[in-house]
Amino acid sequence: MQNLEGRVAVVTGASSGIGLGIAKALAGHGVKIVMASQSADRLAAAAEEVRTLGADVLEVPTDVAQKAEIERLAEKTLERFGAVHILVNNAGVYAPGYAWELDDDDWDWVVDVNYWGTVNGIRTFMPHLLEQDEAHVVNVSSAGGLMTAMCHGPYTSTKHAIVGLSKGLKVEVAMKQSNVGVTLVCPGGVATNISSQFDRSGPDGQPRGERPLPDEVKELWKAVDATVDGGISSDEVGQMVHQAITENVFWVLPNAECYFPIFDQEFADMKNAIRN
């Protein structure tokens, strides 16, 4: 999709962070933007920011974990713009802690948003994308979907699942001989507010709040926060995603190099295991 002027993009998790960065990048190239996020207030503020770029913007408060709300998002998109060409499955949450100590609410919340939110997006929007002369799907996973990431089992499990889902989707659209491209984004250190989200979101739409954590987990998350705070901007990621769409690139790893020592060690361990 080399020319995006006049195309329509749906972006979930668009009220902040990478989702907002992608929305702004696409808006800057003449794309009509449909922004979705659970918080109506934060979404309205973000939509106004994108409108300042001259974009035609529709905001639709949406809980991506609910298939009916994703279907409503598609209906609103088609009512306003008549078509959809780009789907960005970006909405994501996390809950830190030992995998066996996190409760059902935390597990269900993260799996429903991160995994089922992406599946709901693909199942709902893909028939519309296949109708277009060209279209594109962007799934946002994480560097945590490619490597060991301890003390946030629900998050890293779902992000690994998005990697597998995206690889399969790329092959499936090729089997259909369609013109739908697929991009998988696995961000490393990117300055977002995901690590301070608990006062804004949580299970059932209620703020999760901070919960007691063992000291060693607290120290781990201090290091994670430092990596996030010192990362590249979400706007930079947005520009990378725009380029990936126009060039039909599958892998996008924004600032994943900050985790390369972990990647290198894991690949070394895998090779040793194969030899043995």
Token pair for 60:
């639709």
How far is 114 from 161, CA to CA, in rounded Å? 9
pLDDT at 203: 79
Residue pLDDT, tens place only, 180-231 = 999 999 998 888 776 556 667 777 777 777 778 888 888 887 877 777 778 8
Domain that holds residue 256: 8-275
How far is 14 from 244, CA to CA, in rounded Å? 18
Residue 15 counted as domain residue:
yes
How far is 17 from 195, CA to CA, in rounded Å? 11
Q: How confident is the model at residue 270 (pLDDT cuts 50, 70, 90)?
A: low
Residue 129 counted as domain residue:
yes
Amino acid residing at 261: P
Across the range 157-162, mean pLDDT stands at 98
How far is 223 from 217, CA to CA, in rounded Å? 10
On the question of pLDDT at 234 being above 90, the answer is yes
pLDDT at 189: 86
Residue 215 counted as domain residue:
yes
Residue 264 counted as domain residue:
yes
Across the range 48-55, mean pLDDT stands at 96
> For position 154, which CATH number holds?
3.40.50.720
Token pair for 5:
């002027």
Tell me, yes or no, if 94 is annotated catalytic: no
Catalytic residue among 94, 115, 155, 259: 155
Residue 1 counted as domain residue:
no
On the question of pLDDT at 260 being above 80, the answer is no
206 by DSSP, 3-state: which?
coil
Element (H, E) at 73: helix 67-81
pLDDT at 27: 97
Which of 125, 115, 116 minimizes the C-alpha distance to 78?
Answer: 125
On the question of pLDDT at 238 being above 90, the answer is yes
Residue pLDDT, tens place only, 96-110 = 899 999 999 999 999
Q: In this predicted structure, which of 23-32, 65-74, 152-161, 197-206 has the lowest mean pLDDT? A: 197-206
Q: Domain count for the chain, please give it.
A: 1
Who has greater pLDDT, 134 or 272? Answer: 134
pLDDT at 192: 79
Residue 196 counted as domain residue:
yes
Q: What Å distances lie between residue 25 and 166, 199, 260, CA to CA?
A: 22, 28, 27
pLDDT at 136: 98
Residue pLDDT, tens place only, 11-42 = 999 999 999 999 999 999 999 999 999 999 99
Residue 203 counted as domain residue:
yes
Q: How confident is the model at residue 267 (pLDDT cuts 50, 70, 90)?
A: low
On the question of pLDDT at 272 being above 90, the answer is no
Q: Is 243 left (phi over 0), alpha (psi -120 to 50) or beta?
A: alpha
pLDDT at 226: 78
Residue 67 counted as domain residue:
yes
Length of the chain, please? 276
pLDDT at 163: 97
Angle between helices 17-27 and 40-51 (to 10 degrees): 30
